Amino acid sequence: MPVFLKLQEDIKDAMKARDSEKLLALRTLSSDIKKITIDAGRREPTDEDCVAAVTKAIKQREDAASQMDAGGRPELAERERMQAELFRVYQPAQLDPEELDAIVRAAVAQTGAASAKDKGKVLSLVMPQVKGRADGKTVQALVSALLPA
Protein backbone atom coordinates (compact mmCIF):
# COMPACT_ATOMS: atom_id res chain seq x y z
CA MET A 1 0.00 0.00 0.00
CA PRO A 2 1.39 3.43 -0.89
CA VAL A 3 2.53 5.46 2.09
CA PHE A 4 0.13 8.33 1.47
CA LEU A 5 -2.90 6.00 1.34
CA LYS A 6 -1.82 4.39 4.62
CA LEU A 7 -1.55 7.86 6.15
CA GLN A 8 -5.06 8.75 4.95
CA GLU A 9 -6.43 5.53 6.47
CA ASP A 10 -4.71 6.31 9.77
CA ILE A 11 -6.23 9.81 9.74
CA LYS A 12 -9.68 8.26 9.35
CA ASP A 13 -8.97 5.84 12.20
CA ALA A 14 -7.81 8.70 14.45
CA MET A 15 -11.00 10.61 13.65
CA LYS A 16 -13.15 7.60 14.51
CA ALA A 17 -11.21 7.08 17.76
CA ARG A 18 -11.48 10.82 18.57
CA ASP A 19 -7.73 10.94 19.21
CA SER A 20 -7.15 14.66 18.72
CA GLU A 21 -3.37 14.62 19.36
CA LYS A 22 -2.75 11.88 16.81
CA LEU A 23 -5.19 13.42 14.35
CA LEU A 24 -3.46 16.81 14.49
CA ALA A 25 -0.02 15.26 13.98
CA LEU A 26 -1.17 13.09 11.05
CA ARG A 27 -3.00 15.96 9.37
CA THR A 28 0.12 18.10 9.68
CA LEU A 29 2.18 15.37 8.03
CA SER A 30 -0.42 14.97 5.28
CA SER A 31 -0.32 18.71 4.64
CA ASP A 32 3.50 18.64 4.41
CA ILE A 33 3.32 15.81 1.86
CA LYS A 34 0.73 17.67 -0.22
CA LYS A 35 2.89 20.81 -0.18
CA ILE A 36 5.90 18.89 -1.52
CA THR A 37 3.69 17.35 -4.22
CA ILE A 38 2.26 20.70 -5.30
CA ASP A 39 5.70 22.34 -5.32
CA ALA A 40 6.90 19.55 -7.63
CA GLY A 41 3.97 20.23 -9.98
CA ARG A 42 2.20 16.90 -9.51
CA ARG A 43 -1.32 15.99 -8.47
CA GLU A 44 -0.64 12.73 -6.64
CA PRO A 45 2.09 12.29 -4.02
CA THR A 46 4.76 9.69 -4.67
CA ASP A 47 6.41 7.54 -2.03
CA GLU A 48 9.53 9.71 -2.45
CA ASP A 49 7.48 12.80 -1.53
CA CYS A 50 6.23 10.96 1.55
CA VAL A 51 9.71 9.84 2.59
CA ALA A 52 11.04 13.39 2.22
CA ALA A 53 8.21 14.86 4.29
CA VAL A 54 8.42 12.16 6.98
CA THR A 55 12.19 12.49 7.31
CA LYS A 56 11.94 16.26 7.61
CA ALA A 57 9.08 16.06 10.13
CA ILE A 58 10.94 13.58 12.33
CA LYS A 59 14.07 15.72 12.31
CA GLN A 60 12.04 18.82 13.18
CA ARG A 61 10.31 17.05 16.08
CA GLU A 62 13.59 15.70 17.46
CA ASP A 63 15.24 19.12 17.26
CA ALA A 64 12.24 20.74 18.94
CA ALA A 65 12.27 18.13 21.70
CA SER A 66 15.94 18.73 22.47
CA GLN A 67 15.35 22.51 22.57
CA MET A 68 12.39 22.08 24.88
CA ASP A 69 14.41 19.82 27.18
CA ALA A 70 17.10 22.50 27.31
CA GLY A 71 14.42 25.10 28.05
CA GLY A 72 13.02 23.13 30.96
CA ARG A 73 9.78 22.03 29.28
CA PRO A 74 9.88 18.21 29.48
CA GLU A 75 6.11 17.83 28.91
CA LEU A 76 6.32 19.59 25.54
CA ALA A 77 9.48 17.68 24.66
CA GLU A 78 7.67 14.41 25.34
CA ARG A 79 4.83 15.47 23.04
CA GLU A 80 7.30 16.18 20.23
CA ARG A 81 8.98 12.80 20.75
CA MET A 82 5.60 11.08 20.64
CA GLN A 83 4.86 12.72 17.30
CA ALA A 84 8.27 11.69 15.93
CA GLU A 85 7.59 8.08 16.94
CA LEU A 86 4.17 8.29 15.32
CA PHE A 87 5.78 9.41 12.05
CA ARG A 88 8.39 6.62 12.06
CA VAL A 89 5.66 4.20 10.92
CA TYR A 90 5.69 5.94 7.53
CA GLN A 91 9.47 5.93 7.19
CA PRO A 92 11.23 3.17 5.23
CA ALA A 93 13.15 0.57 7.20
CA GLN A 94 16.39 2.05 8.51
CA LEU A 95 19.74 0.55 7.55
CA ASP A 96 21.52 -1.30 10.29
CA PRO A 97 25.05 -0.09 11.12
CA GLU A 98 26.75 -2.98 9.28
CA GLU A 99 24.86 -2.29 6.04
CA LEU A 100 25.58 1.41 6.27
CA ASP A 101 29.26 0.75 6.96
CA ALA A 102 29.46 -1.52 3.89
CA ILE A 103 27.87 1.14 1.66
CA VAL A 104 30.23 3.85 2.93
CA ARG A 105 33.31 1.64 2.57
CA ALA A 106 32.30 0.75 -1.00
CA ALA A 107 31.87 4.44 -1.82
CA VAL A 108 35.29 5.25 -0.33
CA ALA A 109 36.85 2.53 -2.47
CA GLN A 110 34.94 3.58 -5.59
CA THR A 111 35.92 7.25 -5.30
CA GLY A 112 39.48 6.50 -4.23
CA ALA A 113 39.09 8.88 -1.30
CA ALA A 114 42.28 9.14 0.72
CA SER A 115 41.75 12.08 3.07
CA ALA A 116 39.12 14.30 4.66
CA LYS A 117 39.36 16.54 1.59
CA ASP A 118 37.55 13.82 -0.39
CA LYS A 119 34.64 13.63 2.06
CA GLY A 120 32.32 15.51 -0.32
CA LYS A 121 32.90 12.99 -3.11
CA VAL A 122 32.04 10.09 -0.82
CA LEU A 123 28.97 11.79 0.65
CA SER A 124 27.65 12.71 -2.81
CA LEU A 125 27.83 9.03 -3.76
CA VAL A 126 26.43 7.62 -0.51
CA MET A 127 23.54 9.96 0.28
CA PRO A 128 21.36 9.11 -2.76
CA GLN A 129 21.75 5.41 -1.90
CA VAL A 130 20.66 5.80 1.72
CA LYS A 131 18.12 8.62 1.36
CA GLY A 132 15.41 8.21 3.97
CA ARG A 133 17.01 5.04 5.35
CA ALA A 134 19.87 6.61 7.32
CA ASP A 135 20.44 9.89 9.13
CA GLY A 136 22.77 12.31 7.35
CA LYS A 137 24.68 13.09 10.54
CA THR A 138 25.36 9.40 11.09
CA VAL A 139 26.61 8.97 7.53
CA GLN A 140 28.81 12.04 7.81
CA ALA A 141 30.31 10.83 11.09
CA LEU A 142 31.04 7.42 9.57
CA VAL A 143 32.73 8.95 6.53
CA SER A 144 34.78 11.25 8.77
CA ALA A 145 35.86 8.26 10.87
CA LEU A 146 37.01 6.32 7.80
CA LEU A 147 38.96 9.15 6.17
CA PRO A 148 42.11 10.40 7.92
CA ALA A 149 42.40 14.13 8.55
**Hey, where are the domains in the chain?**
3-90, 97-146
CATH for 97-146 is 1.10.10.410
Q: What is the pLDDT of residues 80-124, one digit of tens each?
A: 999 999 999 998 888 888 998 899 989 888 888 888 888 888 888
Q: What is the pLDDT of residues 60-74, one digit of tens each?
A: 999 999 999 999 999
- Closest C-alpha among 56, 32, 51, 75 to residue 133: 51
Q: Does domain 3-90 have CATH number 3.40.50.2020?
A: no
Task: Say if pTM beats, i.e. exceeds, 0.95.
Answer: no
Q: What is the DSSP letter of 108?
A: H
